[in-house]
Structure 1
Amino acid sequence: MLLATVNSSIVIISLPAIFRGIHLDPLRPGNVGYLLWILMGYMLVSAVLVVTLGRLGDLFGRVRMYNAGFAVFTAGTLVLALDPLRGGAGAVWLIGWRIFQGIGGAMLMANSAAILTDAFPSDRRGMAMGVNQVAGIAGSFLGLVAGGLLSEVSWRLVFFASAPIGVLGTVWGYRSLVETRRRAATVGLDWPGNLTFAAGLTALLAAITYGIQPYGGHVMGWTNPWVLAGITGGIALLAAFCVVETRVAEPMFRLGLFRIRAFAAGNAAGLLAAVSRGGMQFMLIIWLQGVWLPLHGYDFADTPLWAGIYLLPLTAGFLVAGPLSGHLSDRHGARAFASGGLLVSAAAFGGLLLIPTDFPYWLFALLIFLNGLGSGLFAAPNTTAIMNAVPAGQRGVASGMRATFMNAGMVLSIGVFFSLMIAGLADRLPGTLAGGLTAHGVPPAAARHVAGLPPVGTLFAAFLGYNPIGSLLGQGGVLAALPPADAAELTGRSYFPHLISGPFHHGLVIVFSLAIAMSLVAAVASLLRGKRFVHEEHAGPEARTATRIH
């Protein structure tokens, strides 16, 4: 899990170097889509495929599917590093092979929790899940630092450096992992269910991705007919999928599992928690790279690396709480730890909402440490409770269902968080930007033009470590015509952060208020899971025997 998540997050922090390497300006309006698909295409395909691949793990062997996933992931990494194209074609190459990587990632995610559940007895599964998930979150932040360092040398190193890691993981998995239970009897795949689910979820999540992008003079694309069609069509197909699953002999999505309260409540809490925290990493990175780090003397080009370093307290909180909560939940059940963790996360979001945009770092570090602590308290006990609640023969599909809710929640969260942030910026940024530019000699017409551009470009400029003012004014030659003193002031480290801090904080209030609400609702859902429930302990002797044989 550590190796896989390092591979994933290393790309996020290296995007500025990657775009420079393929000679593509991500801030041009038509290129925002490339950026979004490189970020979200991997998560989208993972969300769509994990249930199907979890079911295939039940049928043909979870270890076999897991090891194949590492091999697919590694092959995608190598091909990404060899991108021979430039411009938009180069970006399409990256998007396509990131989606290919997502297939391998889905194989890993769909079967990892099921393998651990098979391998450990019920009184040690929480500890195992805690170590597994701590490795995952540690990898995601180690990848941020590693990507920042490697991309300074060459963007291709970001992928080439991941290849040996992937090869090691593949060989290690094939040599070390063995099947611990008999495979389920081979039956036909649920093709109607697979197709309606894949088409419906793809349409819905793709529509959310395009909804963030400008359309027809609007700052976002929610009025785009294709976006509306994707949302309504996706919901209709998912409704049809639910009907299909009640009428086939071997359904892909075991709807009957939702009759188990611990499974239903755990997945509901997991979905809501994923929505509350899914876009948080991006918001914190933008906050650091676009506002706080430049205000404290860091060049825009250096901010991606330092943002990863300054976010390490978030990882530390997870490292402290993950294994401990997993171990304690083995004895006392998941409800208190998972629900308490969500309340801690909500309190941390509240603190982030209240601190100033130019915060004292010790306070920011404490709050994100608490957020990581809350996430660590929640993650392992919740996953263990979900996997304990299902029969052994359905652990693969149950693990896939759990991962689907988590991945779909993260994609939905990014769409919702960015939409709310963009809406908040659109409300205040144009007037602030126009007034600030004209005060430094920019002609009113040029200032109005820049202020009228979709704020998504400004947001992603901060995310990618660009100086937005220099990028926006430099395109039309306006910057070159200004007096040197004004030009230096506008493109200095502190001008843009001071300018955007007010509108950005307005957007943060909206975003973190939603995160608080979702965390609190998730805590209520977690409380409804009931006392500790292990399927094998509550099944009768005949059911336990059938489970072992099946």
Structure 2
Amino acid sequence: MGVLIATMDASIVIISLPAIFRGIGLDPLAPGNIGYLLWMMLGYILVSAVLVVALGRLGDMFGRVRMYNLGFAIFACASLALSLEPLTGGAGALWLIGFRVVQAVGGSMLTANSAAILTDAFPAGQRGMALGINQICALAGQFLGLLAGGVLATIDWRAVFWVSVPIGVAGTIWSYRSLREIGARRPGRIDWIGNLTFSAGAGALLAAITYGIQPYGGHSTGWTNPWVLGGLGGGVLLLVAFCIAETRVTEPMFQLRLFRIRAFAAGNLASLLTAISRGGLQFMLIIWLQGIWLPLHGYDFERTPLWAGIFMLPLTVGFLIGGPTSGYLSDRFGARLFSTTGLVLVAGAFVGLLALPVNFSYPAFAALLLVSGLGQGMFSAPNTSSIMGSVPPDQRGVASGMRSTFQNSGTALSIGLFFSLMISGLAGSLPDALSGGLRAQGVPEGIAAQVAGLPPVSTLFATFLGKNPISHLLGPSGVLDVLPAHNVQVLTGTRFFPELVSGPFHHGLVTVFAAATVMTLVAATASALRGRHHKA
């Protein structure tokens, strides 16, 4: 329950962002508001990636169950504050972002300690099954959040946050009544230097990558922005300082020598690369479905967020089948076979998606999503069991936190990486296609050139938010008010934009999925090299 609701809330706002911003009366695509959009999407993930290691270490010191229970209580209180949002406009957005951060702190306490608690509770022969269920709840939560967000947003935007309140309250009561400390504790001092350098370094690095997708100085992305470059450089330097400090303090936050354990190092590398490719898959599929495929099949742009979640359900079904099954079998036959085979299946699914046309046949698309879900489930459960079983019992909390950090960081990195690749691909061909298509429908040449010159990120976010991109792009010019009704109908219909951008989008999609395929194969190689570790 803990990891399911924590990961659901990481993704539940993605599909429901249009309803949330309408509810607080804010246009996230207006100049100066893109920061609200980015932090609403990514603030939860960034905080989770930064804090889970420190919270896992605190679990080792003060009790994993104690930290877990406190996390449920914090999560429930933050969910209640989000559902009672009293403000509108920019102030309302800041309220939501702020309490999403608090909610992420609670969620991080859950995810940082849940795998460690299960590892303590189950013997080696049953651990794979237990952690398999846990990890599949985590993975399924990411995609069920998309579906739940779409359904709840059609009822009321506050329902997106209401749903977490009863689960948070019930989970808090249940965990306080039923969980007991049975794991090894390692009391000690808090490593303030390690905590500060790691948190600041990881935070600066991930935030800079996030802001790298924003246009800057006439460029389609922000990788030349001095603040982005400064964040990247400063984040790397702080993480180097963290590594140096951890080798010199008496009681470090994280024992770097754990990376000498082959199963731990290889498992976390595979986890990071898989999380990057999975995050790219999630966001590219959403844009593909919402911006092109669903409108081509007659769905209004406003309805596409909900239906995108529905049409991606085969991915979740694959998780639910592959995870527990491979977790159970890995207890008998080891993690390496299943985790490596699973990643080969994921790579094969990426190749299959590369071969699909933009306007694909849904059965083929659904079959590839099912294969990808099966592969990710086969990888995740045995990989987690291998990582957690490879470390000493008194290090399981911080090891669980590091594992979660690699997963959450991979998701944040994927957004910056794959959005940048997609934007770069669109920047080369979208302007000409957009300008020609608009002029063909009677839009004056000057306005067509101005709209075509806008950064592609604006167009991507418009489709991501379930808005008609042409209405969004042409609205400020007022040209839709003077064009003939037939032209307006064509421009704002469900086929004009998808047919216009199919070629440029497919070019970007090939780049993104090819990169994801390579990363998945490297992850499979790392998984195969984990060795024959015997769990304690």
Which position in structure 2 is the counterpart of 1:126?
128
TM-score (norm 1): 0.95
Give, in whole Å, the separation in 2 of the partners of 1:514 and 1:499: 25
How many angstroms does 1:142 deviate by?
2.9
How many angstroms does 1:182 deviate by?
4.5
Which position in structure 2 is the counterpart of 1:166?
168
Which position in structure 2 is the counterpart of 1:334?
335
1:178 to 156, 177, 180: 180
Contact 2:60 2:184 survives alignment (8 Å): no
1:270 partner amino acid: S
Give, in whole Å, the separation in 2 of the partners of 1:164 and 1:430: 48
**Cα deviation per residue 1:470-489 (whole Å; 9 max; x = unaligned)?**
11111221111111100010
Alignment of 1:373-412 (within 5 A): 373-412=374-413
1:323 partner amino acid: P
How many angstroms does 1:197 deviate by?
0.7
Which position in structure 2 is the counterpart of 1:545?
none
1:170 partner amino acid: T
**Cα deviation per residue 1:41-75 (whole Å; 9 max; x = unaligned)?**
11111111111100110111101111111111111
Which position in structure 2 is the counterpart of 1:525?
526
Give, in whole Å, the separation in 1 of the partners of 2:396 and 2:100: 27
Question: Which SS does the other structure have where 1:279 is aligned?
Answer: helix
How many angstroms does 1:145 deviate by?
2.4
How many angstroms does 1:136 deviate by?
2.2
Give, in whole Å, the separation in 2 of the partners of 1:257 and 1:5: 26
Give, in whole Å, the separation in 2 of the partners of 1:393 and 1:28: 50
Contact 1:33 1:213 survives alignment (8 Å): no
How many angstroms does 1:30 deviate by?
2.2
Contact 2:184 2:393 survives alignment (8 Å): no
Greater mean deviation of Cα atoms: 520-529 or 173-182: 173-182
2:378 partner amino acid: L
Which position in structure 2 is the counterpart of 1:499?
500
Structure 1 gaps of 5+ residues are: 537-550
Give, in whole Å, the separation in 2 of the partners of 1:293 and 1:177: 46
**Cα deviation per residue 1:229-280 (whole Å; 9 max; x = unaligned)?**
0001111111111110110111112101111111111111111111111221
Alignment of 1:181-200 (within 5 A): 181-184=183-186, 186-200=187-201
Contact 2:301 2:467 survives alignment (8 Å): yes
Q: Is structure 2 residue 182 aligned with structure 1 residue 148? A: no
1:110 to 112, 122, 127: 112
Q: Is structure 2 residue 325 aligned with structure 1 residue 316? A: no
Greater mean deviation of Cα atoms: 90-99 or 3-12: 3-12
Alignment of 1:130-529 (within 5 A): 130-184=132-186, 186-529=187-530
Give, in whole Å, the separation in 2 of the partners of 1:533 and 1:248: 31
Which position in structure 2 is the counterpart of 1:82?
84
**Cα deviation per residue 1:493-548 (whole Å; 9 max; x = unaligned)?**
111111111111111001001100100111111111101322x3xxxxxxxxxxxx
Structure 2 gaps of 5+ residues are: none
1:157 partner amino acid: A
**Cα deviation per residue 1:71-120 (whole Å; 9 max; x = unaligned)?**
11111111112222222222122111111111111101110100000010
TM-score (norm 2): 0.98
Give, in whole Å, the separation in 2 of the partners of 1:97 and 1:11: 13
Contact 1:29 1:457 survives alignment (8 Å): no
Give, in whole Å, the separation in 2 of the partners of 1:444 and 1:181: 70
1:482 partner amino acid: L
2:128 partner amino acid: G
**Cα deviation per residue 1:376-420 (whole Å; 9 max; x = unaligned)?**
010000000000000101100110111111111111111101110
How many angstroms does 1:133 deviate by?
1.7
Contact 1:3 1:169 survives alignment (8 Å): no
Q: How well do the aligned residues superpose, as a CA RMSD in angstroms?
A: 1.1
Give, in whole Å, the separation in 2 of the partners of 1:163 and 1:44: 22
How many angstroms does 1:144 deviate by?
2.3
Give, in whole Å, the separation in 1 of the partners of 2:408 and 2:231: 18
1:496 partner amino acid: F
Which position in structure 2 is the counterpart of 1:543?
none
